[in-house]
């Protein structure tokens, strides 16, 4: 099994990797299908199903799909150009993607939120269609946004498509047990094995540049969040808090009366800064999703700014170790809140962050696996119940608390020798089973939990 660090960590836009980035990617893929087709197209239309319908407005799924059909993609997204394009689309009822003729598209008529017909493959389903001059559908494709910005067609989902296409990798572990066996046999760390796999699939120079850019985007996101206040969009009137908390923490620095638990506020504020940026539609890195994007950068920033002896040279090892754990969770369970609740998102993020921190603080592979297990175990059963379908309440604070759990998990693992009772593989399988058993209303539909027990205005 191979899942690249650049699959697990994608540069994109908020507020959701599955509900915003995924539909935009799906639309871009559909445009490519149209470009490769011999047919003459006159228009496009689509429908959103399942969780994409129920929480699509709060996640800007319609906006992302419209922009995707206009040719926008997450990793090169420009907000000013997007706003201009949206205005033109609503005025002209057309989209003009590169390499295709002007296509008829009225957002109000041609993009349907279908609340009544879930698609069978995944909770996040959408159908995109292209029509001829008579309005007849001549190209149709079902897409599933399966979490973390990953998108599969219904055919790919049925085939069990993964990221194994390509040259073989030297350490193709599919489970934590295999990962530990390969580490023991090779004498390598998890990061060293993961790096060898990455190099086998690509260029070493571009890999180093790529990982450096990932942390740059993550850290820039933290900095923007710490510097920006105001009200988040979406109608809940949630106030940004990261800047105020950060200003207060800076003012208290050097005082002798600070309580030891103040360090928790630093971890939380880094995470909240990211998730406030995400909620505002800013540029973030999936880690492994947008809704859980703050946890891992917060732990990495905590390490760099607050741990004695920390070195920026360890950032790559942190990301590689975290990606290895995230790949195991995605391969054997899920990172999709619509599929398995928030345990699959922020729980996975905490496990990844705990593993990364344990690794860069000198943990053995066994201790790293233990750190991931502790963090994930104590998120089991967590529901995904965003109020009004917005990635704000409880998501922003939840990332801060997950960062604290991740650091605690890494610390506990480092205090031990790596031997522990519950293996990570068992926790991942338990998460999968729990997600399968969880009622649909607690899986990113905003039909249960906090979403129906607090005011939406």
Which residues are bridge partners to 124 per DSSP?
50
The CATH number of residue 440's host domain is 1.10.4100
Domain assignment present for 421:
yes
Domain assignment present for 164:
no
Task: Encode the chain (457 residues) as per-residue pLDDT tens digits.
Answer: 899 999 999 999 999 999 999 999 999 999 999 999 999 999 999 999 999 999 999 999 999 999 999 999 998 899 899 999 999 999 999 999 999 999 999 999 999 999 999 999 999 999 999 999 999 999 999 999 999 999 999 999 999 865 456 889 999 999 999 999 999 999 999 999 999 999 999 878 899 999 999 999 999 999 999 999 999 999 999 999 999 999 999 999 878 778 999 999 999 999 999 999 999 999 999 999 999 999 999 999 999 999 999 999 999 999 999 999 999 999 999 999 999 999 999 999 999 999 999 999 999 999 999 999 999 999 999 999 999 999 999 999 999 999 999 999 999 999 999 999 999 999 999 999 999 999 999 999 999 999 999 876 5
Total domain count, the chain: 2
**265 and 358 housed in the same domain:** yes
CA 157 to chain centre: 19
**147 and 189 housed in the same domain:** no
List, for residues 96-137, the tens digit of each pLDDT value.
999 999 999 999 999 999 999 999 999 999 999 999 999 999
Domain assignment present for 424:
yes
Quote the Cα angle for 386-388-392, to 5°.
50
**184 and 144 housed in the same domain:** no
Contact 267, 242 (CB under 8 A): no
Task: Catalogue the E-assigned strands of 32-164.
Answer: 43-50, 94-95, 103-104, 111-114, 124-131, 137-147, 150-153
Domain assignment present for 9:
no
Domain assignment present for 7:
no
The CATH number of residue 151's host domain is 3.30.1330.90
* Biggest distance spanned by C-alpha atoms of the chain: 76
HSE-CB for 45 with a 13 A CA cutoff? 16
Domain final residue, candidates 159, 191, 214: 159
**238 and 320 housed in the same domain:** yes
CA separation, residue 57 to residues 62, 123, 341, 384 (Å):
7, 16, 19, 16
**153 and 254 housed in the same domain:** no
Distance CA 402, CA 375 (A): 8
Place of tokens 């090779």: 186
Domain final residue, candidates 132, 159, 186: 159
**231 and 303 housed in the same domain:** yes
Q: Which domain holds residue 316?
A: 176-453
Q: Residue 184 corresponds to which tokens in the numbers above?
A: 């023991």
**203 and 89 housed in the same domain:** no
**243 and 335 housed in the same domain:** yes
Domain assignment present for 23:
yes
DSSP state of 421: S
Domain assignment present for 171:
no
């Amino acid at each position: 099994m191979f899942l690249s660090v650049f699959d697990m960590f994608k540069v994109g836009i908020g507020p959701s990797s599955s509900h915003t980035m995924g539909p935009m990617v799906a639309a871009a893929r559909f445009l490519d299908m149209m470009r490769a087709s011999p047919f003459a197209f006159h228009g496009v239309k689509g429908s959103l199903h399942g969780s994409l319908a129920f929480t699509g407005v709060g996640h800007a799924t319609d906006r992302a799909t419209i922009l995707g059909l206009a040719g926008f993609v997450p990793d090169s997204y420009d907000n000013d150009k997007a706003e201009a394009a949206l205005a033109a689309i609503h005025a002209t009822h057309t989209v003009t993607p590169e390499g295709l003729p002007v296509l008829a598209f009225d957002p109000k008529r041609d993009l349907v939120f279908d609340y009544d017909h879930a698609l069978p493959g995944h909770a996040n389903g959408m159908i995109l269609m292209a029509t001829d001059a008579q309005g007849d559908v001549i190209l149709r494709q079902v897409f599933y946004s399966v979490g973390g910005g990953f998108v599969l067609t219904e055919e790919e989902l049925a085939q069990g498509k993964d990221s194994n296409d390509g040259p073989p990798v030297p350490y193709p572990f599919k489970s934590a047990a295999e990962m530990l066996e390969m580490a023991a046999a090779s004498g390598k760390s998890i990061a060293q094995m993961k790096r060898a796999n990455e190099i086998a699939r690509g260029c070493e120079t571009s890999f180093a540049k790529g990982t450096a850019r990932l942390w740059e985007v993550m850290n820039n996101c933290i900095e923007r969040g710490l510097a920006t206040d105001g009200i988040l969009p979406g109608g809940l009137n949630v106030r940004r808090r990261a800047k105020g908390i950060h200003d207060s923490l800076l003012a208290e620095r050097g005082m002798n009366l600070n309580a030891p638990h103040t360090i928790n506020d630093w971890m939380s504020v880094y995470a909240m800064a990211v998730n406030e940026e995400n909620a505002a539609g800013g540029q973030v890195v999936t880690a492994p999703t947008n809704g859980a994007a703050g946890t891992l950068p917060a732990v990495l920033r905590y390490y760099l700014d607050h741990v004695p002896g920390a070195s920026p040279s360890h950032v790559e090892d942190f990301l590689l170790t975290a990606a290895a754990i995230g790949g195991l969770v995605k391969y054997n369970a899920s990172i999709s809140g619509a599929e398995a609740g928030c345990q699959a998102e922020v729980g996975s993020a905490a496990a990844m962050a705990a593993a990364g921190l344990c690794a860069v603080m000198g943990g053995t592979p066994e201790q790293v696996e233990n750190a991931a297990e502790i963090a994930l175990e104590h998120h089991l059963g967590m529901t995904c119940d965003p109020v009004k379908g917005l990635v704000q309440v409880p998501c922003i604070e939840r990332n801060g608390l997950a960062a604290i759990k991740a650091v605690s998990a890494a610390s506990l693992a480092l205090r031990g020798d790596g031997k522990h009772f519950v293996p990570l593989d068992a926790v991942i399988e338990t998460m999968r089973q729990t997600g399968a058993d969880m009622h649909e209303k607690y899986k990113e539909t905003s039909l249960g939990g906090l979403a129906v027990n607090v005011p939406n205005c």
